[in-house]
């Protein structure tokens, strides 16, 4: 499946039966230089839309919401030493967490790339 996006600028991409989650390039650009990322512990569970992580920049701190419900199976520990990975590669090495989805059908409620691009243009 392709990458899906939320209205809050999180992205989710399935890798087998695991969902990889991060923030969009647009969100990273709006934040500016990311200086700190607070990630949830492995084993934590979240409902769709729940506060899952925090990202801080010189400009602001923002909550990161779970685009789908599930249990955290991995957190990107590289971000604790290199939070700027979010700016350098928001949709690659700057991923936040990997979740085991509790309802993969929730992906259908999210925007595809074209819909997200249109949404961002309207902001």
- Domain ranges in the chain? 4-121
What six digits make up the tokens of 49?
Answer: 């839309």
Give CATH for domain 4-121: 2.40.50.100
Angle at 111 between CA 80 and CA 55, to 5 degrees: 20
Residue 1 pLDDT > 80, yes or no? no
pLDDT tens digits for 31-76?
A: 999 999 999 999 999 999 999 999 999 988 999 999 999 999 999 9
Distance from C-alpha of 62 to C-alpha of 105, rounded to nearest angstrom: 27
**Residue 93 φ then ψ, to 5°:** -65, -15
Q: What is the pTM of this model?
A: 0.96
What pLDDT was estimated at residue 11? 98
Confidence band for 14, pLDDT divided at 50, 70 and 90: very high
Mean pLDDT across 6-30? 97
């Amino acid at each position: 499946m392709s990458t899906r996006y939320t209205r809050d600028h999180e992205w989710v991409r399935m890798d087998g039966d695991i969902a990889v989650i991060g923030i969009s390039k647009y969100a990273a650009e709006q934040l500016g230089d990311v200086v700190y990322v607070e990630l949830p512990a492995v084993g934590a569970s979240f409902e769709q839309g729940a506060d899952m992580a925090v990202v801080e920049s010189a400009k602001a701190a923002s909550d990161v919401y779970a685009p789908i419900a599930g249990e955290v199976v991995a957190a990107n520990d590289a971000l604790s030493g290199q939070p700027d990975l979010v700016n350098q590669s928001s949709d690659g090495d700057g991923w936040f967490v990997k979740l085991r989805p509790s309802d993969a059908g929730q992906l259908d409620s999210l925007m595809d790339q074209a819909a997200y691009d249109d949404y961002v243009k309207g902001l």
